[in-house]
Amino acid sequence: MYDELCSYSNLFLAYQKARKGKTKKAYVIEFEKDLINNLKLLRTELLLHSYSPKPLKTFILRDPKTRKISKSHFRDRIIHHALINILEPIFDKTFIYDSYASRKNKGAHKAVKRFIKFQNKITKNGKLVFYKRIKDKELRLVKGYVLKADIKHYFQEMNHNILINIIRY
């Protein structure tokens, strides 16, 4: 698999994915000035096991809530995409259906849609607690439960040795 990861075709595909929507960014334009040599350099570093990611650039985003964002260097994002090209077909099929973050044909909008479907299902099948008719309108209160969860800083906080042991097999 490592040879496939390091292949020029995989790195070029990864570069295309990393630049998507960012073609006018200065760092992309700079990388493209010597695209062939930059990709060859990345490939050589991978093959020689000398590749080392650059430090993350961290900034605060307030839209609408305040979040701390850590951004990878463009060449590191190419490597991220190169890894995803190899690993996603292997691991994606093992994920539960209702996992939506960073997955093909999933995402936030589909997650919300699925959440509403479950919410409506619980409302229709839940236990009727209160029922009243007011001016030809039906007022119903149904008791049901839905859990929506997002674990903050999960990957930063989890025990990486346990994760490595899980994916090893």
The pLDDT tens digits of the residues spanning 49-84 come to 999 999 999 999 888 788 888 899 999 999 999 999
Would you place residue 101 in the very low, low, confident or very high pLDDT band (cuts 50, 70, 90)?
A: confident
66 and 110 together in one domain: no
- Domains identified in the chain, total number: 2
The Cα–Cα gap between 139 and 132 comes to 5
Q: In which domain, by residue range, is 21 found?
A: 2-94
102 and 84 together in one domain: no
pLDDT recorded at residue 128: 58
pLDDT recorded at residue 53: 95
159 and 89 together in one domain: no
Domain boundary among the residues 94, 117, 151 is at 94
The Cα–Cα gap between 160 and 153 comes to 13
pLDDT recorded at residue 64: 79
pLDDT recorded at residue 157: 80
24 and 81 together in one domain: yes
> Per the confidence metrics, is the pTM higher than 0.85?
no
Would you place residue 115 in the very low, low, confident or very high pLDDT band (cuts 50, 70, 90)?
A: confident
112 and 44 together in one domain: no
Other C-beta atoms within 10 Å of 44: how many? Answer: 12
CB-based contacts of 54, cutoff 8 Å, min separation 6: 72, 73, 75, 76
pLDDT recorded at residue 123: 62
Domain boundary among the residues 38, 62, 94 is at 94
10 and 69 together in one domain: yes
78 and 11 together in one domain: yes
Percent of the chain scoring above 70 in pLDDT: 85
Domain boundary among the residues 45, 66, 94 is at 94
Q: 92 near 29, Cβ under 8 Å?
A: no
107 and 81 together in one domain: no
Asked whether the predicted pLDDT for residue 138 surpasses 90, the reply is no
